[in-house]
Amino acid sequence: MNFPLLSAIVLVPALAALAVAVLPRSRDDVVRVVGVVATLAVLALTVVLVVEFDTADAGFQFVSRHRWINDFGIDWALGVDGISLWLVALTAVLFPIALLGAGPTRDVKSFTAWILVLEAACLGSFLALDLFLFFVCFEIVLVPMYFLIAGWGYENRVYAALKFFIYTLAGSAFLLVGMLSLVFLHRAATGDLTFDLATLGESTAIAASTGRWLFLAFTIAFAVKVPLFPLHTWLPDAHTEAPTAGSVILAGVMLKLGTYGILRFSVFLFPKAAVDLAPLLLTLAVIGMVYGAIVATMQADLKRLVAYSSVAHLGFIVLGTFAFTSQGMTGGVVQMVNHGLSTGALFLLVGMIYQRRHTRQIAELGGLQKPAPVLAAVFLVVMLSSIGVPALNGFVGEFLVLAGTFVTHRWWAVVGVSAVILAALYLLWAYQRVFHGEPEGDNATMRDMDWREGLVMAPLLVLIVGLGVYPKPMLDRIEPSVARLVQHVQDRGDLKTPTVEAPQPDPAPGAEP
Amino acid sequence: MIAALTTASAAIAAQTGQTPLTVSVPPVEYSTILPELVLIGGALVLLVSSSLIGRRPPRGFYGLFTLVVSALSLVATASLWADIVHLGPSTAISGAIAVDGFNVFFKVLVASSLALGCLVAEPYLRREGLEGPEFFVLAMLSASGAMVMAAANDLIVLFLGLEILSIALYVLAGFHARRVESREAAMKYFVLGAFSSAIFLYGIALVYGATGSTSLPAIAAFLSRNLPAETGVLYAGMALLLVGFGFKVAAVPFHTWTPDVYQGSPTPVTGFMAAVAKAGGFAGLIRVFMSSFPTLRLEWKPILLVLAIATLAVGSVLAVVQRDIKRMLAYSSVSHAGYVLIGLQAASSKGVAGSLFYLLAYSFMVIGSFGVVTLVGRPGDADHDLDAYRGLASRRPGLALAFAVFLMAQAGVPFTAGFLAKFYVLSAAVESHAYALAVVGMLMAAVAAFFYLRVIILMYSPPADDAPEQPRLVIPVSLGAALGVCLVFTVVVGILPSPVIEFAKRATLLL
């Protein structure tokens, strides 16, 4: 294919951001149109990408590669495989929704420009095949998000934005040093200075003990982003103080940079170390799942509750990744998409409630079902998807993760299941307190969802139900790449294949291929 | 006559048993020091002509003149570079001057800093009622001193350059003589600077005593043949040289003058000083340690490592607590010196290339930053509290954006020259297996991000309600042009760094 599809996907929002930056401040209408058109154009390109994607090919497709900085062997290298494909798709879906559903109330121009920069950087991170390019995109993501939180957030926004920035930057310190060490060790062994992911992944230059250090260096950076217990403390602040669009993107897309990074870089580059250190990561993941769920139960602020539920849900993804089974990893990838959809939708809904009631305190809400039945219904569906109820998307991912983990790491899976039950507890309890009962005061007169908000939520609902009932197109594209990665880990990581044969997944009723 | 003199001296020699004293004047290849000569000549022409012509020249003449002179100096540097490319590196004036890529790299840096510095200073001087040729004369002389330092191939010439650079800077620091802070800065800088020069000179003496030469290649040749019996003298000399350089580049623990002098000096001078004095100091440091003492690198590498860590930590951490923007940038300049030292302690050509790239990128970022500070400081040059930046974005969005880019570049955000500079020096550190140093460097970048972001967020937050109504900031054309050049350089080199990296690499290969 001659058309540089992936470069276009990354560059369209970047160029649109530049266009917005030069537009006059008074033309908010034009700015809004440019923003929406650019994000929709990315979505259209992504649809083409998903359709054209070859399900039989487990490797990177649509690769485009240009020399960037010659002295360091750095390339502008983009490519997509079954793992990154769905994260790109998720990004492409969530950005127009965030822009349409939770657009800015003031300073439209800067907001739109930052959102577009953010989209370009996120897409660049997911598509990069060059370590340097990935790092650059991974870092630049912080800047627009910092401005979105600090500029359009709630009361405590400056503190939250700064905490978020410094935390992540400190994590990246280890990533950069680890990355450079890997590259130079590779060069010392082969004489070839390159930042190319595939070449470095196949490199045998790294001794096992060195690999373990490098794995830790990479993983700390990603663990901050995920966030993995105990590095999660920035997340509740950032999520709560961010404007709705910021929370949607932060939870929906940016946390996935961490889990994606672990999968794509930590595990792929250092399979042996990943296998050796898997018990540590699995334990932290399980602690995060249970801890996040318990803390979420205690929250008085609805948005903070959703934020802590992210800590719990992201633990699932890490659990699936370090199970090193095809099901577990596939489940992890599916769960990345699911979490993006359902948590993104939850943040949008919380934003709608806040916009109407100017409070997020659960105690001050109540009985909202009466005045706003549609909002309540949508909330219910999204919440059930987040809990992981069958026939909705959350179930597919959680089931695969737990099934995949059970085979190799039984006890972690057993403890992990309790997080599913806790999720039901805190989400249903919150739903009950917010929507059930008799509405009092302002609650009784709350406006229901209007058609525009409904239109924004509709695609999310369609995807939540659609992927829950018929996940096959998604799984078909994920599985070859995941199988290849698992094979890579088994070959290079001295991993013994599980003695118990894994049961075939039964994702959802009526979803049999 | 001459014959008679010769016989007379021979007779004296025969009487006293000494060989006749002859002074040989070395051949002077003027073309190799043309960039310096252009600056010195320009300074003298400006000084003399402005005294002879009583009439006041048209507005902005002095600044324009300096701009032309620095452009001519750049042209001379370019022709020097062409010679080096064709004929290879060489030495001139009996080996006192090294004609190589390293020299040319710093000449380019200094000449462009001079041009940008004058563009920033011209409107400032008019605003503060300090118009006159003296400022520009001193700036040109000081820049020529930095160039001499970069070219020096002999410790004495190096000292000469250091003094030309410093003495002009002492005066420039006190140029805003009505402000007591400016006078105080000049005094502090002068007293401490004089001490550091004396220490440096003593270092030269000890090195000469230990090795028998002040010529850098001769010292290297001597050390490669034999280790002197009195290593103590040599090491003491090396240490004293390092102290002298450390003072100029503001490395911890020789940095204590930096915050006061940066704060007190006229703001355009601070930017110029940060770029040029640091460049000159590092040029000398790199040249002396890489070309004279390469055989002793096992001795000085650990010292540089410790200096780098101390400089990074002190600079970054102390910048966090500053309320005055110029003090904050002063401490940040200390931490930047730490990054340059990271590249240097690798003691490899890659590390040096990284340090050179860092210095070039830094000079544009810092002149741009102080350009913005100059403007926001308002008449009187006193409004440097961080609160002066509150709401700047709503008043002057372009200015705020430029400052945000300069600050983010200094913080090391990708797609700016500052990121690649950090990347370059850290990769050299990792390549030389200094992993801990690289991690410290990155963590300090995270600390530094805190105070850079604090300014950015102030600029982008709404103006304070009780803020007094102030006249709208007017951006003078020349200042705007300087900011534009710095901005374009910072961003373009951040995206397409290859030409500059190539230049920095060739500058070290020819060292």
**pLDDT of the residue at B173:** 92
Among A162, A161, A268, A177, CA closest to A220: A177
Could you tell me the pLDDT band of residue A226, with boundaries at 50, 70 and 90? confident
Q: What is the share, in percent, of chain B residues with pLDDT greater than 90?
A: 49
Bridging pattern class, strands A61-69 and A74-80: antiparallel
Mean pLDDT of B77-93: 87
| Torsion sign (Cα): B86, B87, B91, B94 | negative
Residue A318 to residues A265, A304, A401, Cα–Cα distance (Å): 14, 22, 9
Q: Which residues contact B320 (CB under 8 A, 6 or more apart)?
A: B447, B450, B451
Chain B nearest CA to A69, separation (Å): 6
For residues B140 and B114, the answer to whether their CB atoms sit within 8 Å is yes
**pLDDT of the residue at B1:** 42
SS3 A75: strand
| Torsion sign (Cα): A373, A377, A382, A386 | positive
**pLDDT of the residue at B310:** 93
Among B119, B28, B103, B24, CA closest to B71: B119
Mean pLDDT of B105-115: 94
- Residue B201's Cβ-side half-sphere holds a number of Cα atoms within 13 Å equal to 11
User: Which of the residue ranges A145-154, A168-177, B355-364 has the most confident prediction, judged by mean pLDDT?
Assistant: B355-364
Q: Do A139 and B414 touch (CB under 8 A)?
A: yes
Q: Which residues contact A416 (CB under 8 A, 6 or more apart)?
A: A285, A286, A289, A315, A316, A319, A401, A402, A405
Of A208 and B128, the structure prediction assigns the larger pLDDT to B128
In Å, how far from its chain's centre is CA A236?
16
For residues A400 and A505, the answer to whether their CB atoms sit within 8 Å is yes
**pLDDT of the residue at A512:** 42
- B417 and chain A in contact, CB less than 8 A: no
Of B5 and B454, the structure prediction assigns the larger pLDDT to B454
Query: Lowest mean pLDDT: which of B202-216, B231-245, B470-484?
Result: B470-484
Per the rule left: phi > 0, alpha: psi between -120 and 50, beta: everything else, B395 is: alpha
Best A10, A15, A68, A71 member to test B by mutation, with max B CBs in 10 Å, is A71
SS3 B6: helix
Q: Do A170 and B446 touch (CB under 8 A)?
A: yes
Q: Do A136 and B415 touch (CB under 8 A)?
A: yes
Distance CA B348, CA B343 (A): 8
**pLDDT of the residue at A388:** 83
**pLDDT of the residue at B172:** 92
Mean pLDDT of A223-238: 86
Mean pLDDT of B111-121: 93
Mean pLDDT of A387-404: 85
Please give the interface size between A and B, counted as residue pairs whose CB atoms are below 8 Å apart.
77
In Å, how far from its chain's centre is CA B441?
21
**pLDDT of the residue at A421:** 87
Mean pLDDT of A99-118: 84
Distance CA B141, CA B164 (A): 7
Contact list in B for residue A139 (CB cut-off 8 A) is 413-414, 419
For residues A262 and A226, the answer to whether their CB atoms sit within 8 Å is yes
Question: Among all residues of chain A, which has the CA nearest to that of B457?
Answer: A150
B142-194 pLDDT, tens digit per residue, is 999 999 999 999 999 999 999 999 999 999 999 988 888 899 999 999 999 99
- B398 and chain A in contact, CB less than 8 A: no
Per the DSSP assignment, residues forming a β-bridge with A65 are A77
**pLDDT of the residue at A194:** 85
Query: Could you tell me how many residues make up chain A?
Result: 513
Nearest to B414 among A136, A165, A184 (CB): A136
Is residue A443 scored above 80 in pLDDT?
A: no
pTM above 0.90, yes or no: no
Among A161, A172, A344, CA closest to A247: A344
**pLDDT of the residue at B21:** 67
Could you tell me the pLDDT band of residue B5, with boundaries at 50, 70 and 90? very low
Q: Which residues contact B25 (CB under 8 A, 6 or more apart)?
A: none
A462-475 pLDDT, tens digit per residue, is 988 888 888 888 88
Reported ipTM? 0.84
Q: Would you call A51 exposed, middle or buried from its count of C-beta atoms within 10 A (0-12, 13-18, 19+)? A: exposed
Q: Do B426 and A181 touch (CB under 8 A)?
A: no
Query: Lowest mean pLDDT: which of A16-30, A243-257, B42-56, B252-266?
Result: A16-30
| Torsion sign (Cα): B107, B113, B119, B124 | negative
Instruction: Name the average pLDDT for chain A.
Output: 85
User: Which of the residue ranges B9-18, B167-176, B460-469 has the most confident prediction, judged by mean pLDDT?
Assistant: B167-176
A345-393 pLDDT, tens digit per residue, is 988 888 888 888 888 888 888 778 888 888 888 989 998 888 888 888 8
Is residue B427 scored above 60 in pLDDT?
A: yes
Tracing tokens 């006559």 back to the chain, one arrives at B1
Q: What is the share, in percent, of chain A residues with pLDDT greater than 70?
A: 96
Of B481 and A438, the structure prediction assigns the larger pLDDT to B481
Residue A79 backbone phi and psi in degrees, to 5: -165, 160
**pLDDT of the residue at A513:** 40
Query: Lowest mean pLDDT: which of A442-456, B16-30, B398-412?
Result: B16-30
Distance CA B111, CA B103 (A): 12
For residues B362 and B337, the answer to whether their CB atoms sit within 8 Å is no
Tracing tokens 């599980």 back to the chain, one arrives at A498
- Please report the beta strands in A61-174, taking only residues with DSSP state E, as ranges in sequence order: 61-69, 74-80
**pLDDT of the residue at B2:** 46
A415-438 pLDDT, tens digit per residue, is 888 888 888 888 888 888 888 888
Distance CA B132, CA B126 (A): 9
Q: Per-residue DSSP letters for A153-194?
A: --TTHHHHHHHHHHHHHHHHHHHHHHHHHHHHHHHHHHS---
**pLDDT of the residue at B359:** 94
User: Which of the residue ranges A64-78, A180-194, B256-270 has the most confident prediction, judged by mean pLDDT?
Assistant: B256-270
For residues A129 and A63, the answer to whether their CB atoms sit within 8 Å is yes
Could you tell me the pLDDT band of residue A497, with boundaries at 50, 70 and 90? low
Distance CA B276, CA B67 (A): 16
Nearest to A180 among B426, B443, B450 (CB): B426
**pLDDT of the residue at A56:** 80
Could you tell me the pLDDT band of residue B139, with boundaries at 50, 70 and 90? very high
Tracing tokens 């932060």 back to the chain, one arrives at A250
A74-85 pLDDT, tens digit per residue, is 888 888 888 888
The Cα angle at residue B249 between residues B247 and B255, in degrees rounded to 5? 50
**pLDDT of the residue at B481:** 92
Contact list in B for residue A152 (CB cut-off 8 A) is none
Contact list in B for residue A183 (CB cut-off 8 A) is 427
Residue A511 backbone phi and psi in degrees, to 5: -105, 10
Contact list in A for residue B450 (CB cut-off 8 A) is 162, 166
SS3 A229: coil
Tracing tokens 């999310």 back to the chain, one arrives at A460
Q: Do A184 and B431 touch (CB under 8 A)?
A: yes
| Torsion sign (Cα): B216, B221, B224, B225 | negative
Residue A197 to residues A82, A267, A269, Cα–Cα distance (Å): 16, 12, 8
**pLDDT of the residue at A60:** 84
For residues A367 and A358, the answer to whether their CB atoms sit within 8 Å is no
